[in-house]
Structure 1
Amino acid sequence: MAERRVRAWDRVPEDMPGGVPRDLPGGVELYHLRPDGGILLADREGRRELGPEREFLRFIDDGQFAHYLVGDAATSPERPSNATVKLGVVGPRSAFTPHAHGGEHFVLSLGHAACGLYDEGRARVVDVPLVPGMLIRIPEMMPHSFANRADVPLTILAANTGYGIDHEDYAITAAEAERRAEAPAGSPGGGTALAGALTDHRALAAALRDIERAQRVRGIAATTVRERLAARLRRMASALEVSR
């Protein structure tokens, strides 16, 4: 078994910057979030590349993936871990279905992304471009959608307070908000208190539909020439840091 682990380790195409100590204590994990969107994990047993075929869960939409660091998909107010923290991989030139979370949401972008947000006070959709190293906080129940502007996979670090992917209030889409708006008050999922406050599901659905329309009309913004050059330089810098 140990021999097979060493061989699997050697098949990984890229090492960790600075190398991996061979005397890592048990339970310690090192992650390299590469500029090309790949994720390399090293621990006492060796190193391997994380990918959709293992150790990843579906992340809201088909083609998007998540790997939990804190909490799990079943986290909820009834089964709390205080927050969930997970690595997400967003497919090239793709966006999540617009949704709202029952808890507040933090996203650290490690690539060129964009976040479409519904500004209730101004009744319009606002697009916020993100570059590597930018973190955005989204309040609970704010309609939004996260997009990858680049043509390579995008890695994000996402933290949600109180909810895992399996919870019904983790990501409420326009279709779900419309269903809840039509449900009789007091029935499961109909007219209920959400995240400590009463939610107008009809208004929530309308806001989410506005983001959907904006996505259809505007499409996903492209990276600029300057951003593409910066991404190339970032990949070169990462390669220089890898031990050969």
Structure 2
Amino acid sequence: MAEPDGFLPFIDPAQRARYFIGDAATSPERPSNATFKLGVVSPHSAFTPHAHGGEHFVLSLGYASCGLYDLDTERGVRVALTPGTLIRIPAMMPHSFGNRAGNPLLILAANTGYGIDHEDYAITAPAAEARGAENGAFPALAKALRALEADNGPETMTWRERIAGRLRRAAHRLEARR
């Protein structure tokens, strides 16, 4: 159910998203073939690790982190994202996004084939474990998601990033006075 401002819950109850293209019911059975949405990630928080049935692209408009599962080393790795960074997540790649800043993080996410109401939109470790009996790929997915859960803090911004953020805000104020 949409909130008055058009935002919907987004993977976790504390996170929100608003669809620009497609909707929450997008699926292979009801295709718009893609969704494009604005996500709002709460300060100093991270999404529950998950995987999607389709690939997606995420543009970070702030200081984020992306936890990814490395199949070769069988452990999670962190990628720091700064404002303007675009990352591609292949289908079924275990991952999580975190907000490293003290203000809400805006992300633009484009997904292929699935809206947030579809069971394959965000497969979490408990969902993968429950589906494991019916599909042999899900136990390995559940193991990877549990590995990401073990280290799913949003991290914090570096001192350089904090200074760069202040300089960006100062530049914006100076430019706005024209």
CA shift, 1:142, in A, is 0.4
Which structure is larger by alpha-carbon Rg, 1 or 2?
1
CA shift, 1:122, in A, is 2.2
Counterpart residue number, 1:130? 81
Whole-Å separation in 2 of the counterparts to 1:131 and 1:206: 29
1:237 aligns with 2:178: no
Counterpart residue number, 1:204? 141
Whole-Å separation in 2 of the counterparts to 1:241 and 1:57: 34
1:142 aligns with 2:79: no
List aligned pairs for 1:1-244, cutoff 5 A.
54-182=5-133, 190-191=134-135, 200-215=137-152, 219-242=153-176
Whole-Å separation in 1 of the counterparts to 2:86 and 2:124: 23
Code of the aligned partner of 1:75 = T
Equivalent pairs, count: 176
Whole-Å separation in 2 of the counterparts to 1:152 and 1:170: 26
Code of the aligned partner of 1:80 = P
Q: Secondary structure at the match of 1:156?
A: strand
Q: Secondary structure at the match of 2:132?
A: helix
Q: TM-score, normalised by structure 1?
A: 0.69
In structure 2, list runs of 5 or more residues that go unmatched. none
Q: CA RMSD in A?
A: 1.5
Q: Secondary structure at the match of 1:226?
A: helix
> Greater relative contact order (Cα 8 A, min sep 6): structure 1 or 2?
2
CA shift, 1:220, in A, is 2.6
CA shift, 1:236, in A, is 2.5
Q: Secondary structure at the match of 2:30?
A: coil
In structure 1, list runs of 5 or more residues that go unmatched. 1-51, 183-189, 192-198
Code of the aligned partner of 1:88 = G
Which digits, 9 at most, give the CA deviation of each residue in 1:107-137, with x for residues without a partner?
Answer: 0001000000001122121100000010000
Code of the aligned partner of 2:38 = L
Residue 72 to residue 243, structure 1, CA distance change in 2 (3 Å): farther
Q: TM-score, normalised by structure 2?
A: 0.93
Identity of aligned residues (%): 66
Q: Secondary structure at the match of 1:208?
A: helix
